[in-house]
Structures are given as C-alpha cells and as structure tokens.
Structure 1
Amino acid sequence: MSPRHILILGGTTEARELAAALTAHPGLRVTTSLAGRVSRPGAVEGDVRIGGFGGVEGLADWLRAEHVDFLVDATHPFAESITANAVRAARATGVPTVVLRRPGWRPGPGDRWHEAASLEEAAALLPRLGHRVLLTTGRLGLAAFAHLTDLHFVVRSVETPEPPMPPHTEVLLARGPFTPDDELDLMRTHAIDVLVTKDSGADATSAKLTAARQLALPVVLVRRPPLPEGVDAAPDVAGVLGRLGLGTGVSAPR
C-alpha cells in the first residue's frame, strides 16, 4: 500500500514545524513545496520541491500526478495569490485542504496603531505620522512608497529589495528573530519616528512592536488579506494535525 501523500505549501516556521510533526508518523509521505524566493531556506523534514507549479492548472495537475491526499497551505499570511490558487486547485481535484494561518497581532495598552488595507494606504498615512520610517514589509512592494521624496526610509529585509524604492532609502539586510533590545537599539540609532509593518502575526517578529510601544512610536500596520470564502483554516500545527486525525486515535484521511 502506497503511503498517504500530504503536500505542504511552505516557507514559514509553522510549515517546517508541521513537516517535522508529520514525518514522525509512519505511513505518510510528506512533501513541502517552496516558492524559491528566499535563497537560503531553513531545513525541512521530508521531501522538498522548489519552484512554482504554474498557476491553478499546474498545481491541479501535480496533485493528480503525485496522488496527493491532503493539501496544507502554510504560506505567509500575505501570500494571497498562492492561497487563492491552492484553494481553487484543491476544489478542482477534490483534494481536502486546510489553510494554516497564525492569528494576527492585537494592540495592547500604549500602542499607537494605524491600520491600513494596503501598502498604498500605508504610504498615504506616513507624511502626517513621521519623517524617519522603519519599513519591514519585505523586499517587494517598495514602489508604493517611492513617491515619498521628503521622508527617509530604513528598509530591513532578508533579501535585497526590488526597485523602485524611495529616493532616500537605507537598506539593512538582516534575518531575525530580533529581541526587543535589538529593535530599540535599531530605532534609536536611526532616529526612527514611525514603523511600518505587515500583520504577519508571528511571535518571532513581534519585538519591533514592543520596541515601538516603549518608544511611544506610531505603527502603521498593514492588514492581512482575507482568506477565500468557505476555506477551512487552522491557527496552528496542532489544528492541522487535528484535521488529519493525527494524535486523536483516528487515521489520516485516504
């Protein structure tokens, strides 16, 4: 009997944790697919494939050809197009699917948050909030801020950002996690007076919010896109394992 095949669309800490948890179960074949956008991804248990599928039809073809029994989208909360394609391909092929989506951040006492629906909306808020911006929204999308010629940007990214970008931009290439003290030192050293970030929701990247709170800095928080209508979502690895019936005395779905 061939092993039941689970495909994880990965690239996040939760995806790696899920792959490790699933490979510990006998009778499962686990494949993690990485888009290949990061040059040095972390180690992943099980089989790994690199690169896109070629849209909805390409992914659907792969699900059929590789006899995938269950699909888990564990991509970043802002990987909107990947999630949409995954849900459509899974529905087209009848493959059960769940989206592993960590909860978003919530403001606490002392936070000065300004929510934005997009990077463009975030850019529109900045001129009235500060002049020295710490931008931690990733290497893509800087074009939304390119017209802000009177502001100074410190852009922190794991990979080199793609142009166009604001004319007064300083790029810091760094990989977290960072501590609150790290973030306080960064913000003080560069005289940051406003932070722009996406609501990734990860504990490992929340230290910048703690530092901004301690310095009483405004934060522009870009809201994550909504999930496709009707999609099943789990907040953590345990939730996905529950959907698969693992750890509950129930066999994984065929």
Structure 2
Amino acid sequence: MTTRVLLLGGTGEARRLAGRLDGDPAVEAISSLAGRTAAPRPVPGRVRVGGFGGADGLAAWLRDERIDAVVDATHPFAARMTGNAVRACEDAGVPLLVLRRPGWTRGPGDDWRRVPSLAAAAADLPGERVFLTTGRTGLAAFAGDDRRRFVVRSVDPPGPPMPPRTTVVLARGPFTVEDEAALMRGHRVDVLVTKDSGGAMTAAKLTAARDLGVPVVMVDRPPVPDGVPVAETVEDAAAWLIHAGPLMPGSGGA
C-alpha cells in the first residue's frame, strides 16, 4: 500500500515537495491548485484544480479519496484555506502539516514599518507613489485612495476594486535587484507595500528598497492555528511524510 498525500499548493515549496515525492513508490501525492492563475507553473505528478466547497467539502473529499495525510503548502497569507484544512482534517481524522517558509527579517539599513493588516497599511501610508506588491486580492484595501499613485505588478490583469490611479505592470518573477530598482526608479516610487511572505523568490524588492532608501510597509502574516505542526523547509516536510509514525499507509481517511 502507498501513503496518499494531498498537497495544498500554489507555492514554490509545494512544487518542490511534489517533485520530491513524485516517483516515490511509497507515496502518491495529489497537488491541489486554487485555479486563480491563468497559466500556473507546471507541477510534477497528479494535479487537481479548483476549490473543495469549504471545510465540509474538503473533509468529504479526503474521505472519498482515502487520503492519509495533508500538507498545507499554500501561501502564508492563505488563512482561509489553512483554517478550512484544519477543520477538515480534524473532521476526517487525517494528520495535517503546515509547510511555511520563514518570514523576512529586517537587516541593517532597512526602513520597515510593520502593520497587522492590509487595512492598517492603507490607513497610514507614508508616501505618495506606492509600489503595491500585495497580490490581486489585496488591492481592495487601497481602492478608496484617490490621491496616491499606485504601481501594481501581477501575473494576470487584476480586476476591480482597485485604486483609481493605478498603473498595472504584467510580469512573472523571479525578479533581480536590478529589475526592482529600475521599476522603482522609473515610477519614482517612494514607498513599498508588501506582505511578509518570506522566501528568496520575491526578496529582491526589499534589497532594492534598502539600496534606494525607500521605506517598506510590511504586513505581518496571520499565525498558524494553535496545535498544528509546522515545517519550514521542503526537506522537513518530506521527512514528516515519509518517516512519521501516524502516516503509515491506510492510517487516515476512511
């Protein structure tokens, strides 16, 4: 028998974990993508796209598919999906691991202002020309600001609501420090707003902001629910799946 694993994905860590497990005869990994990006990067192994219908729908899917373990490797700010995963796994009796890369750490020369939410960031912006890197779903918090100019970068065109004075840059990373510095200079950016996503893939903008003397409004990530085990690396998540006692084949699901 094999261990059947659901990977709640959409991040680089999720893709790397799927690649790590792909081809392992002891594990069958199924990656789930929300389907919000029109052309997502390819993921090794079996992939499903779309929602589950909330926590109840996910719990039913786990039972129907006889899933033995779930790894929530969604974005650190996907709090609703994480909450649904916690409730569904409790209901279905399936072990859950949250894979979260560490957040960013302020270094010498960084001018960061930490805020607890997007609403708090929008309520007290220190600049007039804002590089807004909060993702398409984060634009609504700034939609009422008709005074500042915003630069928004996105893989796919964002829809309303968004700030009325917005320039959209369609691009897919990763971006170099030189790329980020050129964008900030070209648009005369005087403040960067970002979420504390962590990881190296999108950290170049922070280095560019430091080099240019641009302040950063850093939105803190939501906490992982109490009692849920957390891995910070793909290697630790793979070890949890392969070696943890509760994850022997047939231990969860039905």
1:158 is displaced (CA, Å) by: 1.3
- Distance change in 2, residues 1:236/1:216 (3 Å): same
Letter in 2 for 1:137: T
Question: Does the aligned pair in 2 maintain the 1:15–1:75 contact within 8 Å?
Answer: yes
Distance in 2, Cα, partners of 1:75 & 1:105: 17
> Over aligned residues, Cα RMSD in angstroms?
1.4
1:149 is displaced (CA, Å) by: 1.6
Distance in 1, Cα, partners of 2:231 & 2:40: 24
Instruction: Specify the SS of the correspondent of 2:136.
Output: coil
1:196 equivalenced with 2:193 (yes/no)? yes
Aligned residue number for residue 206 of structure 2: 209
Distance in 1, Cα, partners of 2:236 & 2:159: 36
1:139 equivalenced with 2:136 (yes/no)? yes
Aligned residue number for residue 252 of structure 2: none
Aligned residue number for residue 35 of structure 1: 34
Distance in 1, Cα, partners of 2:109 & 2:93: 47
Aligned pairs (5 A) from 1:107-118: 107-118=106-117
Letter in 2 for 1:242: A
| TM-score, scaled to structure 1 | 0.95
1:108 is displaced (CA, Å) by: 0.2
Distance in 1, Cα, partners of 2:33 & 2:140: 25
CA-to-aligned-CA distance 1:194-226 (integer Å, 9 cap, x gap)? 000111102010000000000111100111111
Instruction: Specify the SS of the correspondent of 1:143.
Output: helix
Question: Does the aligned pair in 2 maintain the 1:7–1:30 contact within 8 Å?
Answer: yes
1:252 is displaced (CA, Å) by: 5.2
Q: Which runs of 4+ in 1 moved over 3 A?
A: none
1:253 is displaced (CA, Å) by: 2.4
Question: Does the aligned pair in 2 maintain the 1:5–1:28 contact within 8 Å?
Answer: yes
Question: Does the aligned pair in 2 maintain the 1:132–1:194 contact within 8 Å?
Answer: yes
1:251 is displaced (CA, Å) by: 10
Letter in 2 for 1:53: F
Question: Does the aligned pair in 2 maintain the 1:63–1:93 contact within 8 Å?
Answer: yes
Distance in 2, Cα, partners of 1:18 & 1:196: 29
Instruction: Specify the SS of the correspondent of 1:238.
Output: helix
Q: Give the total of aligned pairs.
A: 249
1:168 equivalenced with 2:175 (yes/no)? no
